[in-house]
Chain A
């Protein structure tokens, strides 16, 4: 059974870079049918997709965050990572990683499974 687990610092200072890793177990990250994505949920707010990446390195990001986001994949460790630069308090959120079903060139579909999420607080 495929499982995902997020890890990384729970506290990041304003203007610094948020870095999280998602470890995939129970299956290989090297799949042609799936991307690997990040979603976040600020306290008291809804879900927001950040971006997704294929194991071969093709990435798609939501435009509002694109200038600050980098997603990378390490197939040797069966992990993928998120970096979000120049963070502010508005980036405080629970960050989830998930496997992302993609059709065709890039028709994003469902997310499954998800990690449990990790709270990242941006504060000095």
Chain B
């Protein structure tokens, strides 16, 4: 099965808000709330930012929030900071034989 669909890139200026979308199907995002988001910085361990669509793990800034509408999940980052510049991936359970799907990734640039 194809990956979840994310925009290849998004950008924003410090202090602004941005939203990254993650579009799936009825086999995954539309039906299940097992959507998570990860932040990848080069050379560092990936970091869980959001789980179960909208829950923030302990230690993650409240500038990060998640939501879902229909077959599309979204990650919103408010008050952009330079340190937020990274790649972001969504993930979801899927009923297909793939079982776990990731999005294609979105590169966030802080201008």
Q: A residues engaging B (CB < 8 A)? A: 4, 39, 46-49, 60, 62-64, 96, 98, 101, 103, 106-117
Contacts of A62 in B (CB 8 A): 97-100
**Which of these binds chain A: B44-52, B67-75, B76-84?**
B44-52
Q: A46-B104, A62-B100 are in contact. Are A109 and B44 (CB under 8 A)?
A: no
- Pull 12 A–B residue pairs with CB atoms less than 8 Å apart, ordered by A: A4-B45, A39-B102, A47-B105, A49-B100, A64-B98, A101-B51, A108-B99, A111-B36, A111-B46, A114-B48, A115-B45, A117-B45
Return the CB mask of B25-37 against A: 1 if under 8 Å, else 0. Answer: 0000000101010
Rounded to whole Å, the gap between the CB of B34 and the closest CB of chain A is 5
- Is A46 in contact with B51, judged by CB distance below 8 angstroms? no
Contacts of B45 in A (CB 8 A): 4, 96, 113-117
Q: B residues engaging A (CB < 8 A)? A: 3, 32, 34, 36, 38, 43-48, 51-52, 57, 89, 91, 93, 97-105
Partner of A109, one of B36, B98, B101, B102: B36
Closest to A99 in B: B48
Q: A62-B98, A108-B100 are in contact. Are A47 and B47 (CB under 8 A)?
A: no
Rounded to whole Å, the gap between the CB of B101 and the closest CB of chain A is 8
Of A47, A63, A64, A106, most B-chain CB atoms within 10 Å: A47
- Is B34 in contact with A108, judged by CB distance below 8 angstroms? yes
Q: A96-B46, A107-B93 are in contact. Are A47 and B102 (CB under 8 A)?
A: yes
Rounded to whole Å, the gap between the CB of A64 and the closest CB of chain B is 7
Q: A46-B3, A107-B34, A109-B51 are in contact. Are A116 and B57 (CB under 8 A)?
A: no
Closest to B37 in A: A110
CA–CA, A98 and B47, complex, Å: 10
Contacts of A63 in B (CB 8 A): 97-98
- Is B105 in contact with A109, judged by CB distance below 8 angstroms? no
Partner of B52, one of A4, A96, A109: A109
Q: A47-B105, A62-B100, A64-B98 are in contact. Are A110 and B93 (CB under 8 A)?
A: no
